[in-house]
Chains A and B, each alone.
Chain A
Amino acid sequence: MRGDEARICLRTLTQPEPADTMRAMASYEPRTRRLSRAEYDRLIELGVFQPGEDIELIGGELVVAEPQGAPHYTAIRKTAKALEAAFGPGWEVRTEGPIGLDDDSEPEPDIAVVPGNPDDYARAHPSHPALTVEVAESSLAIDRQHKGSLYARAGLADYWVLNLVDRVLEVYREPAPDSEAVFGWRYARLDVFDGAARVTPLAAPGSSIAVSLLLP
């Protein structure tokens, strides 16, 4: 199913961006010092950040995560369990764990499915999840545009946004260059599934997951 066949009309997809002054100001932000992933890892080793500080390195910028509510965390747990069942042995389902994505990014997606078992990542974070999932409420625009572009640039083949606002699963596939996108890439294909639908991860083609199992 191509993106234009998705029948569900999403309020959040069609809403225009408000011409808000803070946002207009943000587009003129002065340049902040960018960090490489190696520098970021060193700062963590040095203990510069407070333990439990919710920080991700996204395209060289230190980004803070929104505090998460009960539905968000519930969705993470439900999705992790459903993916563990769908992928089975030989796969590791990580929740909110760091991914060594590229030279200037170390995001911590809500869920990432990587091959192998925990010991395989005792020395270095995984870099290329077979499936990456972000659970989105207030972070919807950032998960779609910002992280979507970042994950597409890294060539992640299967990216899901579990949209709690519209109670649908957005499945992004086929990374393609796009000079208009934040990081120069985007997903060419978007399929949207409501709570009645079932979805199959690219890397677990024999499985079928009810979207209702993921939603809180």
Chain B
Amino acid sequence: MKHAVRPGLHRWTRLEYERLIDHDFLREDDPIELLDGLLLVKEPQHSRHRTAVLLVAKALERAFGEGWFVQTQSPLILDDRSEPEPDVCVVQGVPRDYVDAHPTRPALVVEIADSSLRLARGRKAAAYARARIADYCIVNLIDRVLETHREPARPGPARRHWGYAATATHGADAAIAPLAAPSTRIPVTDLLP
């Protein structure tokens, strides 16, 4: 819709969202995620995207090792209005720790983005920052770089929305260390399809 003026949309709470699933109104495997109260329809996934998800998951499993696990495209509870399904995230503990409730505070969140780059840098970054996710990475498939977003920052004179104060771009020849696994070195090239 190209029009400038849009009415305000209803913001769903996570409770309402879960009731939609309970009532079979939405199915758990519907390509939908709740972000900041909006039921966002996920873009269909290209094979490049899926390949990057697998590469990132493998690299992170190797880097983090015991005491952590990696989940892909699974729900994460951020707050009352957000239950996104990031492409990859690293969570402390073992899968059985989350039998009764989705994880809330992953050590690292990674989104793979091509056409969704604007969403990943905008609304998603704001939601992750607001939930104080310390380490958020975007595998930018358009420019073939890794973007790190760190230091969640609240809105203020300098920024209108929640966001990250420290962002950096790393080329394919660089290597990065996740905040929660500081002694590791992950070559960016290992993450790119």
Contacts and interface: CB of A to CB of B under 8 A. Distances in A.
A30 B40 contact: yes
Contact of B116 (A30, A39, A62, A141): A30
Given A17-B4, A33-B40, A39-B25, A28 B118 contact: yes
Contacts of A33: 26, 32, 39-41
Contact of B3 (A43, A61, A139, A145): A145
B101 interface: no
A58 B7 contact: yes
A27 B5 contact: no
A64 interface: yes
Interface residues of B, number: 28
Given A32-B9, A63-B10, A146 B41 contact: no
A23 B20 contact: no
A57 to B, nearest CB: 9
B23 interface: yes
Contacts of B3: 27, 145-146, 182
Contacts of B23: 46, 48
A46 B26 CA distance: 14
| In the A-B complex, the 10 residue pairs with the closest CB atoms | A62-B10, A33-B39, A141-B5, A63-B7, A31-B41, A17-B4, A142-B7, A64-B8, A182-B3, A30-B119
